[in-house]
Amino acid sequence: MTNVPLPSYPFISKHDEEHKAACEERSRGLEIRLESKLQEMRAAEVTQRAHERSTEMLDRAARAKNAASKVEWLMKAIDIAVAPSKGLTACSKGCSHCCHISLDISEAEARVIHKATGRRLDAKAGIAGEEAERGISERQKRATGVACPFLSRVGTCTIYDVRPFNCRSHVNVDQDDLLCRLTTAEEDEKVARVPYLEMRHYKASYRSILGSEQRFADIRGWFPR
C-alpha cells in the first residue's frame, strides 16, 4: 500500500444550523421508532441461535492457547452476534465516518493484521492496563478526522476480512448515516447520539479473554503512515 494522502474529512461546522436541526429532529422519539427494528433483530437472533452460537465461540476463544487463535474465535463470536442486524442498520460499504475516529486495537489484533498484510508494525506503540485507559481521551482527540491507515481512497476497508473487533461491533441501527457525520462540535455540544447496537457483553468478554497484560494502541499508532 502506498502512502498517498487521503482527502481530508469533510467536517460539518458546529454552526451549521440545518444539520443541527436535522439531528434534533432525528433524535425526537428515536427509541420508539427503533423499537420495531430491534424486535425484528431479536427475532432473528432467536432464529439464528445467535446468542448460543456466539457464546460457544467466546468459550473457544477463552480456551485458545495463543493470542492469534483467541482473536480468530473472538471475531467469529462478534460476527455471529451482529448477524441478526443485517439489512437493518445504517452501515454499508463505502460509508467511512467511523474510519475517521479513534480505534483502539489490541497488540494481538495488530499482529494478525501485520501477518495478513505485511504492513510495518510499530511494536512499541502499545500500552497496557491503567495507562491505556488514562490515554483514551487524548487518543480520541488526535484521531478524530484522521483516516484509518487501511482505508482506501474510495472509502472501503482494505483489511475487511481481518478488521478489528471494535470495527465489527460498531453498528449504527439508525436508518442512515446522519448522526455518524463528524462535526466540529465538542462532545458535550452534540445534540444527538448515534444509536449503536448494544455490545457491552461482547466488549467485556473481548478484554477479559485477551487478558489484562494485553497492550493497546490506536490502529494509527500500530501502523503509522
Is 12 among the domain residues?
Answer: no
Q: What is the pTM of this model?
A: 0.92
The chain-wide mean pLDDT, for the chain, equals 94
| 196 class by beta-carbon count within 10 Å (0-12 exposed, 13-18 middle, 19+ buried) | middle
pLDDT at 3: 57
pLDDT at 83: 98
Q: Give the span between the Cα atoms of 190 and 149, in whole angstroms.
A: 27
Distances (CA, A) of 207 to 77, 127, 179, 202: 14, 14, 28, 9
Is 4 among the domain residues?
Answer: no
Helices (H), 15-124: 17-27, 30-47, 50-63, 67-82, 107-117
Number of domains into which the chain is organized: 1
Is 9 among the domain residues?
Answer: no
Write out the residue range of the structural domain in which residue 24 sits.
17-222
Residues of the chain with pLDDT under 70: 1-6
Is 140 among the domain residues?
Answer: yes
Is 81 among the domain residues?
Answer: yes
The torsion angles phi and psi of 82, rounded to 5 degrees, stand at -85, -25
- H/E element, 205: helix 200-210
Instruction: Report the DSSP beta bridge partners of residue 106.
Output: 216
Is 8 among the domain residues?
Answer: no
Q: Give the span between the Cα atoms of 123 and 130, in whole angstroms.
A: 19
Is 91 among the domain residues?
Answer: yes
